Amino acid sequence: MQFQSNLTASAGAAKLLLVSFAFVASLANAADVHPLVTSKYWTSVGAFFATSDFNANAQGGAGGEDERVDFETSMGLDDRPDLLDLEFGWQFGRKWGLSLQYFVADRERTRTLEKAIEWEGVTYDFGAVIKATTDFEVTRLFFSRQVWKNERHDLRLGAGIHYLRLAAEISGEATLDDESKEFRASEASASFPVPDIGAWYRFSPSDRWLLDARVDWFSANVGDYSGRLWNLAVGANFRLHKNVGIGLSYQLFELNGSVRDTNWNGDVRTRFAGPEINLTGFW
């Protein structure tokens, strides 16, 4: 009886030890990956040090074909603006999540033209002093579904919407009827949604490091817009604290299309590309 009692106690102790080991191992595994892999919410605030290229034309009331204006070269706008980039993510189901991104680029410059340009059916001659502004705003909403995941890897596919707001204005002394001159302010603006499909991959080699890559793509005709859109990001994040990390990535946004809107009837080609540094929170 004593032997059986000892055996039962030993078996119970062994079972408790195994359960304890499994529990500790599960904690170790959970702690062995970056929190962004397992967090329900995350957010980041980043500075996007992009090189930019904004080329566009906008036909005026006559409907003529204006030459495309390079706003960095012809207008002297800063081709290396610092952009604010905000992101928020939510894992709202076992396999489902969404992310919301917003960035904006507003620029302005006054200069003397080195060659004549036409914008919105208005001609600005060589030597005219003009002011040029561009406003570019992107709001990205993306729904993703997990298609493969293990301890360190997370691959998702999904679809979303880029809501774009474009505006470009040139103001100054314009030439009218080939003779008279008059101050004019000619603005073209448009806002429209662009659907897209994409993929998102994360890999965590340790509890401190996360590597990730994301791509969104669209090429079709939607309402007043037709053309192609790319949005790419590749980077790494280092966990500084339990709920805080710092990230470094390379970002690319490229839009090449035509707009047929009452406030903008023309083409636009724009590209923002460069490094981004951000502060990330996760919980």
Q: How many whole angstroms separate alpha carbon 272 and alpha carbon 48?
A: 9
**Bigger pLDDT: 136 vs 177:** 136
Q: How many whole angstroms separate alpha carbon 46 and alpha carbon 103?
A: 9
pTM value is 0.83
Identity at 102, one-letter amino acid code? Y
- Please, which residues bridge with residue 141 across strands? 100, 161
pLDDT value for 9 = 42
**pLDDT band, residue 1 (cuts 50/70/90):** very low
Residue 31: how many other CB atoms lie within 10 Å: 10
The answer to whether residue 25 scores a pLDDT higher than 60 is no
Q: How many whole angstroms separate alpha carbon 144 and alpha carbon 281?
A: 20
Using one digit for the tens of pLDDT, what is the confidence trace for 205-262? Answer: 999 999 999 999 999 888 888 999 999 999 999 999 999 999 999 999 999 999 988 8
